[in-house]
Every structure is written in structure tokens, then in C-alpha cells.
Amino acid sequence: MTGYIFLGAAYGIIMNSKGYGVIWALLMSLIVYAGSAQYVAITFLTSVFNPIYALFLTLMVNARHIFYGLSLMNKIKDTGKLKPFIIYWMSDETFSVLCAAEPKEGVDKGYFMFFISLLNYCYWALGTAMGSLLGNMMTFNTKGLDFALTALFVVIFISQWKSQKKHIPAIIGVLSSIACLIIFGPNNFIIPSMIVILILLTIMKNKIEGDEAE
């Protein structure tokens, strides 16, 4: 989870290199809190603003959150007043942890998910502030820093692969993504692959749950 500090720091450094100081970078992380979409937003801030383009590009980049919400509906339905916070603080790593981790006996599930989400939110904001302040004190070559988010996705995938005995969902995800990448190209494959993954996981739900119960 503390990996978000380094991701936030990379974002803060890039924002600083584009002329946006710690206040602007921190406000983006506290209010927008959108991970990869925040990296994309830097382009909007440094070029002629096109609201329609910004709307659709942001939707495409973060459309996966629709599927996060669908996947977690049953898990968060009984969290009461904590639900809006868990939804607002949802991110890639938070989703991964919430899916993989279960609270110990006697630990309230709602507060368990709430504090995981809150910690990731704080890590991201703290990292952003640290990166921006560091960018003020030192000169960085920011080329490649935005790859940090992609690297995190790979680490999350490997971690989940190692922690699970059955790998059917992971294999479905990888093969579906590769197929959609070939068919739709690198700029348009995310949403189709998510749809294909959701359909296949729904079809194979009973088999997957049966394997996990063994």
C-alpha cells in the first residue's frame, strides 16, 4: 500500500516540472484522486483546454472503475455511512486489496475496508506533497516517471497470482486483454477487454467459486 507514496511522489514531481506547485498538486490529489487520470490531466493543464476531449479521455482512462463498483457491490452494501467514503476513495490498489484481503475474526468489515481506503488516499496525498516539495529543491529528468503506475499494476498482478492457488480469473484477464489489444489497438482496448472479462467471469462464476472453495 505504501507504494502509493512513490506513485504520488512521481506525480508531484511531474506537476512541479510543469509549473504547478505543491498546493495545486495536493488539491488535485485530494479532490480528484484518480491515479492514472491525474497523470493524463497534466496534459490538459499544459495545453489548450478542450472540455469534450477531457471528458471522454478521462472516462476512457478510468472506465475500469465502473467494473470495480460492480465487483464490490455485494461486499460494500452493508457498510452504511462508510459506503460513500469507500466509493470515493476507490483506486486500483485499494480495489486489489479489498478483493484479496479478509478482516480477521472480530474485525468489522466496513471499518476494515474504510481504513484501507483512507490509508491509500493519505499515502497518495502525502506522496504528492513530498514529490512536489522535492521537485522544488532538486532538478529531475521526469521522462519515464509516469511508468510508475504501470509498474504498480504489474506488481499487484504478480502478488495476487502468488497468493492464489487457482489462476482462472487472472488467465481470463490476461488473454482477454491481449485479444482486445490485437483487435482494437493500444488506444481502444481497455473498455472492450473489461466487458469481455466481466462476461467471461460471470459465465464461469460457479466454476471459479467451486475451485476456490476446494
Q: What is the mean pLDDT of residues 28-55?
A: 84
The answer to whether position 158 is within a domain reads no
pLDDT of residue 1: 60
Record the cell numbers describing residue 52, joined without a space.
469534450
The answer to whether position 102 is within a domain reads yes
pLDDT of residue 44: 84
The answer to whether position 157 is within a domain reads no
How do residues 144-191 score in pLDDT, each as one tens digit?
766 766 776 787 678 778 777 778 888 888 999 999 999 999 877 877
Q: Are residues 140 and 168 in the same domain?
A: no
Q: Which amino acid is at 80?
A: G
pTM, two decimal places: 0.71
Q: Are residues 122 and 184 in the same domain?
A: no
Half-sphere exposure of 110 (CA within 13 A, CB side): 9
The average confidence (pLDDT) of the chain is: 84
Nearest to 140 by CA among 17, 9, 3, 5: 17
The more confidently predicted of residues 159 and 214 is 159
- Residues in CB range of 142: below 8 A, 6 or more apart: 13, 14, 17
Half-sphere exposure of 96 (CA within 13 A, CB side): 18
Residue 26: band (very low, low, confident or very high) from pLDDT cuts 50, 70, 90? very high
Q: Are residues 142 and 174 in the same domain?
A: no
The answer to whether position 153 is within a domain reads no
The answer to whether position 156 is within a domain reads no
Q: Are residues 107 and 183 in the same domain?
A: no
Q: Are residues 131 and 66 in the same domain?
A: yes
End residue of a domain, out of 111, 146, 181: 146
Record the cell numbers describing residue 183, joined without a space.
483487435
Record the cell numbers describing residue 98, joined without a space.
479489498
Q: Are residues 91 and 187 in the same domain?
A: no
pLDDT of residue 181: 92
Record the cell numbers describing residue 125, joined without a space.
496525498
- Report the alpha-carbon distance of residue 81 to residue 2 in Å, rounded: 26
Q: Are residues 48 and 142 in the same domain?
A: yes
Q: Are residues 119 and 196 in the same domain?
A: no
Q: Are residues 32 and 111 in the same domain?
A: yes
Domain count of the fold of the chain: 2
- Residues in CB range of 4: below 8 A, 6 or more apart: 91, 93, 120, 123, 124, 127
The answer to whether position 159 is within a domain reads no
Q: Domain range spanning residue 138?
A: 3-146
- Report the alpha-carbon distance of residue 61 to residue 65 in Å, rounded: 9
Residue 40: band (very low, low, confident or very high) from pLDDT cuts 50, 70, 90? confident
